[in-house]
Amino acid sequence: MTQLTFEFHGKLRLCVESEDALALDFFASEYGLHAAASDADLPTVWLHFERSKGGISRPGYTTHTHKVLARWAYRVRLTLRRIEIEAVGNRFSIPMIHHMLVHPSLRFLAANQGLLMLHAGAVARNGRSILFSGRGGAGKTTTTSLLLAYGQPTWQVHADDYVFIADGPLSLGYWTRAHLYRDLLRWVPEVAGRLSSGERLRLEVLGRVRAWSRERIKWPVRMALTRLWTGRAPAAQACPAALVLLRRGAVDVPVLRPAENVAEAVQELLEMNFYEARHYIRLLSKQGVLDEAGLSDWRAAEAALMERAVMQIPLRVLLLPEKQVEAYALAKGVAEALNEVGA
């Protein structure tokens, strides 16, 4: 049995135990930038994964199927400092177990330790970060990618999908592989040159499946941040210059403005975060591990952390054009709009 250990800024730990080479390779690739081991007493998510060689049913386990292909059975033990996940599944279940169980378990533990894990993309420069958040499809990946591809060479990738926000305020990178979709190539064509022929083919096929399913099936091509943004070492921590909510509107160029209603913005961020955790909540509720009281406590903890964050970090709205805009022009407009932020 092989065990992999990953630590997140000395605040959280993930341990993955398995004999399955595919699972070990997935998590080593996903969290390679966080690989570490210490004897510190940290809140920990522990995953034991077994690849099924036949059926997936186990006594005391709950079975689940996602999008037909991914099938697994799981058992979760949950406390405020340790979450243990035992899972047996097929090869397609591995990324789903990460997305639906492991990743949100880290978020649950973080919230209960006073650390906010926010669904956001982020870039950093000169020790200052800009965090981009918003509902699905708002343009988090696009906006961060445009700044990194066309902006000043001092921009660093800070987070692709989630970022930790600690008191201070301080933003801490949560580094997983970037999740690439076909549309990104339209905005940043140079990314295609960093993909293998097999990755380009998968990106095209998965893009067609996504379009055919009308956004119901979204399978990404995963790529290491250091490979995607060659020569730009990820920033580990920074002082947030702004938390930017992304919107679409009838504008010709990107427009940055102060958020008009902070309370509404906090509620939007909270609902967005918990929409991302919907599968996790369903799986734990299905097993009877997370009841309404536990869910309410989790929401209250994140709501308090979000309120603290917006009191410490300037909150802005970036209005992006609804109409088609040439990639470089949009990147230039975003950079100019963010000049006043001071990152």
With CA atoms as reference, report the closest residue to 88 among 129, 111, 125, 60.
60
Record the pTM: 0.93
Asked if 172 and 164 touch (Cβ cutoff 8 Å), the reply is yes
Higher-confidence residue of 330 and 115: namely 115
pLDDT (tens digit per residue) in 72-120: 999 999 999 999 999 999 999 999 999 999 999 999 999 999 999 999 9
pLDDT of 135 > 80? The answer is no
pLDDT of 184 > 70? The answer is yes
- Beta-carbon contacts of 311 under 8 Å, excluding residues fewer than 6 positions away, are none
pLDDT (tens digit per residue) in 267-308: 999 999 999 999 999 999 999 999 999 999 999 999 999 999
pLDDT of 215 > 80? The answer is no
With CA atoms as reference, report the closest residue to 88 among 25, 17, 140.
17
Mean residue pLDDT across the chain? 91
> Which CA distances in Å does 223 have to 175, 177, 227?
11, 5, 7
- pLDDT-derived band of residue 137, with 50, 70 and 90 as boundaries? low
- Over range 145-151, report the average pLDDT: 87
pLDDT of 157 > 80? The answer is yes
88-92, 150-154, 212-216, 240-244: least confidently modelled range: 212-216
Q: Where in the chain is the domain with CATH 3.40.50?
A: 117-177+224-260+314-341
With CA atoms as reference, report the closest residue to 215 among 322, 137, 161, 278.
137
Structure-token pair, residue 27: 């998590």
Looking at the domain covering 117-177+224-260+314-341, what would its CATH class be?
alpha beta
pLDDT score for 4 = 97
pLDDT (tens digit per residue) in 14-61: 999 999 999 999 999 999 999 998 778 999 999 999 999 888 989 999
Give the start-end residues of each E strand in the chain.
Answer: 2-8, 12-18, 44-51, 62-66, 70-78, 82-89, 116-119, 121-125, 128-133, 156-159, 162-166, 170-173, 178-180, 221-223, 237-249, 255-258, 315-321
pLDDT of 149 > 90? The answer is no
pLDDT of 342 > 80? The answer is no
Distance of CA 287 to the CA centre of its chain: 25
